Structure 1
Amino acid sequence: MGTLLQSTLFYLILLHSWRISANKDGEWKSATATYSKDKDGSLITDGACGYGDLHRASYGRYSAGLSTILFNRGSTCGACYEIRCVNHILWCLIGSPSVILTATDFCPPNYGLSADYGGWCNFPKEHFEMSEAAFSEIAKRKADIVPIQYRRVKCQRSGGLKFTMTGSLLFYQVLITNVGLDGEVVAVKVKGSRTGWIPMARNWGQNWHCSVDLQRQPLSFEVTIIGGRTLTSYNVAPANWQFGQTFEGKQFQQ
Structure 2
Amino acid sequence: MGFSLKFHCCLMSVMVLLPTLCYAQDYVKSRATYYGSPDCLGTPRGACGYGEFGRTVNDANVAGASYRLYKNGTGCGTCYQVRCTNPQLCTDNGVNIVVTDYGEGDNTDFILSPRAYSRMAQSDKAAELFAYGVVEVEHKRIPCRYSGYKMQFKVHERSKYPNYLAIVILYQAGQTEILAADIWQADCKEWIGMRRAYGAVFDTTYPPSGAVTLRFQVQGSAGVYWVQASNVIPSDWKAGVAYESDIELE
Q: Tell me the TM-score normalised to structure 2 length.
A: 0.76
8 Å CA contact 1:69–1:126 kept in 2: the answer is no
Identify the structure with bigger relative contact order (alpha carbons < 8 Å, sequence gap 6+).
Answer: 2
Q: 1:135 aligns with which of 114, 117, 134?
A: 117
- Deviations along 1:180-235, one digit per CA (max 9) or x if unpaired, are 11342111112255453222121100100123333x41011212222223321111
Question: CA RMSD for the aligned pairs?
Answer: 2.4
1:33 shift after superposition: 0.9
Determine whether 1:164 maps to 2:160: no
Letter in 2 for 1:180: A
8 Å CA contact 2:41–2:55 kept in 1: the answer is no
Q: 1:245 to 1:54 in 2, by over 3 A?
A: closer
8 Å CA contact 1:64–1:130 kept in 2: the answer is yes
8 Å CA contact 1:70–1:126 kept in 2: the answer is no
8 Å CA contact 2:44–2:55 kept in 1: the answer is no
> What's the secondary structure of 2:57's corresponding residue?
coil
Letter in 1 for 2:90: C
Q: Distance in 1 between matches of 2:247 and 2:166?
A: 20
Q: Quote the residue 1:31 is aligned against.
A: 30
Where do 5+ consecutive residues of structure 2 fail to align? 1-22
Q: Quote the residue 2:205 is aligned against.
A: 211
What percent of counterpart residues are identical?
24
My pick for the range that moved more, 45-54 or 31-40, is 31-40
Q: 1:25 to 1:77 in 2, by over 3 A?
A: farther
> What's the secondary structure of 1:43's corresponding residue?
coil
Q: 1:153 aligns with which of 142, 158, 161?
A: 142
Q: Distance in 2 between matches of 1:55 and 1:213?
A: 26
Q: Tell me the TM-score normalised to structure 1 length.
A: 0.75
Q: Quote the residue 2:70 is aligned against.
A: 71
Where do 5+ consecutive residues of structure 1 fail to align? 1-23, 109-118
Q: Distance in 1 between matches of 2:56 and 2:183?
A: 21
Q: Distance in 2 between matches of 1:192 and 1:165?
A: 18
8 Å CA contact 2:151–2:172 kept in 1: the answer is yes
- Deviations along 1:56-97, one digit per CA (max 9) or x if unpaired, are 7634511101122222222211111111111x244424xx22
Q: Quote the residue 1:247 is aligned against.
A: 243
Q: 1:55 to 1:203 in 2, by over 3 A?
A: closer
- Deviations along 1:104-149, one digit per CA (max 9) or x if unpaired, are 11114xxxxxxxxxx51xxxx4421111111111133333111111
